[in-house]
Amino acid sequence: MPDYAIGVDMGGTNLRIAAITTEGKLLEKITLGVKLALGRDYVIGEMCDAIHRLTEQYRESGNFVGAGIGVPGIIDVEAGMMRKSANLPGWTDYPVRDVIERRLGARIFLDNDANVAALGEKWLGAARDVDNMAMLTLGTGIGGAIVLGGKLFYGLSGMAGEFGHVTIEPNGVPCGCGNHGCAERYASATAVVRMAREAIDSGLAPELAKAASSDPEFSAKAIYNLAIQGNPDAQRIFQRFGQALGILHSELVNILDLDMFVIGGGVVSAWDAFAPKMFSELRERSLVYAASAPEDPTGKKEGASAQIANYTRRKTIITQALLGSDAGLYGAAKLPVSQ
């Protein structure tokens, strides 16, 4: 029987723990609600119990090589510490890895949720055949990660891949990070709702206003549904979303010229509503993309596309993630497998 690892994906709502073979086969997955209100130690206790249960269960199956844990926030990977997390305020500067390592007597790896999602897509998902890729996860904000030569690229402070806070509009909407016009202020679930609220407040989007007043949870999903039903105000929001992602990707492609950019996270399900605008923006803005992009299916050549010949047979690929919400679970399990 093959050896196996444990992957843990800790979100704001769910705590998921899976036993996965070193070949990438799922053995078993446990999903728990995260009881943040009961405190850090309680949540860590539940996580350790679940890991222990799985390792007991698969004891005979193969060697347990260790567990990887993906958490939201800024992580010091070398130290195995949580530095800062908006969702987990009581975890600041907490030595998560060492605490769990001591309790379980196993090798534990801690990493950021965007990094483990990228590692999952690289291992078993959309990017399995490329070595240099970046991943963007569109959710409440935008998470980002870079894989180079098949390995996560951390940078000087472990913060490489902060795509959500890349400026795409220097005088744009203020962001909690202190900057103005960050990508995630235009291309995230939060941004979709903000733009809808602003359209409603302007008095120019009566159908959105009607939808909002009859839906107490008025969410990005609801606004997407209106867009695919043909509501022009909702469509305009996803055009802005696509334009922002196109500008962001034009910057990423011009800077990094990677083989593949994988877009995941919950909001990627609105792909049809934002992707055409994203691609047209990218073709116009990035000479590097234009030089190596697949032909535009519509045959249009504007901006950068009109300026440079498509001289390479290599193609920059921008595509949807394949593993959905399991990317982080698989990627976390890959952490002990890669080491």
In the bound state with its own copies, the residue whose beta carbon lies nearer, of 281 and 326, is: 281
Closest CB 193 distance from its own copies, rounded Å: 22
Q: How many CB atoms lie within 10 A of CB 180?
A: 14
Closest CB 323 distance from its own copies, rounded Å: 23
In the bound state with its own copies, the residue whose beta carbon lies nearer, of 157 and 214, is: 157
The rounded distance, in Å, linking the Cα atoms of 212 and 222 is 9
Closest CB 330 distance from its own copies, rounded Å: 25
Closest CB 162 distance from its own copies, rounded Å: 4
Name the phi and psi angles at 151, rounded to 5: -120, 150
Q: Give the DSSP H/E element, type plus range, for residue 195.
A: helix 189-201
The rounded distance, in Å, linking the Cα atoms of 196 and 65 is 47
In the bound state with its own copies, the residue whose beta carbon lies nearer, of 177 and 204, is: 177
In the bound state with its own copies, the residue whose beta carbon lies nearer, of 158 and 328, is: 158
Residues that bind its own copies (CB under 8 A): 74, 76, 83-84, 132, 144, 146, 148, 153-163, 165-170, 176-180, 247, 250-252, 254-259, 284-288, 290-292, 302-309, 311-312, 314, 316
In the bound state with its own copies, the residue whose beta carbon lies nearer, of 75 and 226, is: 75
Structure tokens at 164: 């959500």
Closest CB 307 distance from its own copies, rounded Å: 4
Beta-carbon contacts of residue 142 (< 8 Å; ≥ 6 apart):
136, 163, 164, 183, 184, 187, 188, 265
Closest CB 218 distance from its own copies, rounded Å: 28
In the bound state with its own copies, the residue whose beta carbon lies nearer, of 116 and 288, is: 288
In the bound state with its own copies, the residue whose beta carbon lies nearer, of 123 and 289, is: 289
The rounded distance, in Å, linking the Cα atoms of 103 and 49 is 10
Residue appearing with tokens 């960050």: 182
Closest CB 299 distance from its own copies, rounded Å: 16
Residues 202/207/212/217 CA torsion (nearest 10 deg): -130
Query: Are 273 and 253 contacting, i.e. CB atoms less than 8 angstroms apart?
Result: no
Query: Residues, the chain, total?
Result: 339
Query: Are 146 and 160 contacting, i.e. CB atoms less than 8 angstroms apart?
Result: yes
Measured over the CA atoms of residue 77, residue 28, residue 61 and residue 45, the dihedral's sign is: positive
In the bound state with its own copies, the residue whose beta carbon lies nearer, of 113 and 162, is: 162
- Nearest Cα neighbor of 104 from 38, 42, 56, 35 is 56
Structure tokens at 259: 């083989």
At 87 the three-state DSSP class reads coil
Query: Are 69 and 85 contacting, i.e. CB atoms less than 8 angstroms apart?
Result: no
Residue ranges of the alpha helices (H) in 125-270?
189-201, 206-214, 220-228, 232-256
In the bound state with its own copies, the residue whose beta carbon lies nearer, of 53 and 236, is: 236
Closest CB 150 distance from its own copies, rounded Å: 13
Closest CB 175 distance from its own copies, rounded Å: 9
